[in-house]
Amino acid sequence: MTFHSIWLRPARDDLRFLESVVTDLASGFNSPIFEPHATLVPDMRRSADELLPLVLSLAVGRKPLDVLVDDVAGTEAYFRSFYAALQKTPTLMTLKQDSLDISGEKDISTFLPHVSLAYGVADHGSRDTEMARMARLLVGRSIRFDRMVIVSSSSETPIDQWIVKHEVYLAG
């Protein structure tokens, strides 16, 4: 069985904007291009079809989320080497809490809401320069997430093999 994740997908205009940021950074860092997203639930060994009714249930009554970018940061971890940290809004944290039944996670204390902007950035000098540039562009900007998607993806799945299987709109 393949692994699946649940992502929050940015609304169309925000998605286009973030795709341009990812493409720009990928060109500069020679890093992969991927769809910008905020991971709600990572790496579950469950089928997309098994997850669909659970995600539909999770989406019922929820409106799109507007979340501010708090910071631009990076770590040594490949998938968190360059990202936009998102504000832990009550609405976002409630959604994460409500997702625990799906994920099997114990609590939300380690949840770091973010949108990755580049993966595997090793050049710290260039990264720091680009982080400062991206911080000026992104910090304080609101990103709207209007969909949850079930994606065939994991930290072990090659990025070019990530596939969106289902999309569920947050329509209220």
**Per-residue pLDDT, 124:** 81
Report the alpha-carbon distance of residue 154 to residue 162 in Å, rounded: 8
Supply the DSSP symbol for 112: -
114 contacts: CB under 8 Å, gap ≥ 6 = 38, 80, 83, 84, 85, 86
Question: pLDDT in tens for each of the 172 residues of the chain?
Answer: 689 999 999 999 999 999 999 999 999 999 999 999 999 999 999 999 999 999 999 999 999 999 999 999 999 999 999 999 999 999 999 999 999 989 988 899 999 999 999 999 988 889 999 999 999 999 999 999 999 999 999 888 899 999 999 999 999 8
The token pair that represents 2 in the structure block: 């393949």
**Per-residue pLDDT, 172:** 81
Global confidence as pTM: 0.95
Length of the chain: 172
Q: Please count the structural domains in the chain.
A: 1
Report the alpha-carbon distance of residue 119 to residue 97 in Å, rounded: 27
Range of the domain at 19: 4-169
CATH number of the domain that residue 106 is part of:
3.90.1140.10
Do residues 120 and 33 touch, judged by C-beta distance below 8 A?
no
